[in-house]
Structure 1
């Protein structure tokens, strides 16, 4: 993969601000041709630098309970547990971490009862889970996928 240059980072920043922005508008803002914008975006997508997604506000679609769940797994079964967790539609994120928990997941539920059912019914059936430490979000201060800044570019 080629190294991203300043223009690539500027395009990414514009898309993060508003993913609906037209190629024409971005070309005008960055003082390049629309074809350059189109080619750069296509190349970055081919190289999986980013993908276009819809970031839904969970509360607006009835998912009022967000939980971060730290999971301890039996030695040697971490990956098998992670693979099984992928099948649950309520699970948005799964990551392996160092520290107290082997896996940390982020999941959304319609209610506390749905969360309790997930932990006591679904998680309890997965072989290799030793324990689950459930934390419920009480208040959100930031939720962003924007982390590209042109100043981060080396050139």
Structure 2
């Protein structure tokens, strides 16, 4: 593996596809995400083939995807629409912070008052310098990733933005001089579960719509459009 120094690291692609969305939103208190295992069941091998191609080149057109997979262009379009509607994939433009003048990256581990965990998380989400935040098990309660212009800016962040947050008991900062592999490098593995065919997918979708309608949350035909 070639280690790439962060200062001067090559630009990431102008467009990228994230098969695991980077901006997950908790659907209930505590940060739990509903439906993840169910959603995995609704991904067919056709979907996987499309995702793998887009992860290599997110700018591929419907026609190019059709030629590469042997799938009709209309099917490619329909599959991509469904994947986006269900939040399985999303598209994003990636910018190189270093070439825009933001040369310092750091991971910061936080020990916090657990009774204020959600309150602190909400405040961290609102800080522009914080590009990633997650609850942890182990020595830290929360880990954040920050991008700033300089070492001085990092000190200002620690003292002026992080320290005033009530409930943060202590922090430990790890400056990252080199990036070995970026988080955007995740690639969908080869299928590790039996793939659904289109008929099975349609059946599961219908079951989901009927179940939702029965619970009084909607009518059949509405779920897939959400």
TM tier, smaller: over 0.9
Q: How far off its partner does 1:7 sit?
A: 1.1
User: TM-score normalized by structure 2?
Assistant: 0.66
- Which residue does the alignment assign to 2:77? 38
SS of residue in 2 equivalent to 1:125: coil
- Which residue does the alignment assign to 1:149? 189
**Bigger radius of gyration, 1 or 2?**
2
SS of residue in 2 equivalent to 1:95: strand
Deviations 1:20-74 (A, max 9, x none): 1111001000001111110000000000001111122221221110110000001
Checking the alignment, whether the CA contact within 8 Å between 1:5 and 1:153 is kept in structure 2 is no
List aligned pairs for 1:51-62, cutoff 5 A.
Answer: 51-62=90-101
Unaligned segments of structure 2, at least 5 residues: 1-38, 196-226
Stretch moving more, 38-47 or 137-146: 137-146
Residues 1:72 and 2:96 are matched in the alignment:
no
Of structures 1 and 2, the one with the larger relative CO (CA 8 A, separation 6+) is: 1
- Which residue does the alignment assign to 1:84? 123
List aligned pairs for 1:1-155, cutoff 5 A.
Answer: 1=39, 3-145=42-184, 146-155=186-195
Give RMSD over aligned pairs. Answer: 1.3
- Which residue does the alignment assign to 2:27? none
Distance 1:129 1:87, change over 3 A: same
Equivalent residues, number: 155
Q: How far off its partner does 1:142 sit?
A: 0.8
Checking the alignment, whether the CA contact within 8 Å between 1:58 and 1:64 is kept in structure 2 is yes
Unaligned segments of structure 1, at least 5 residues: none
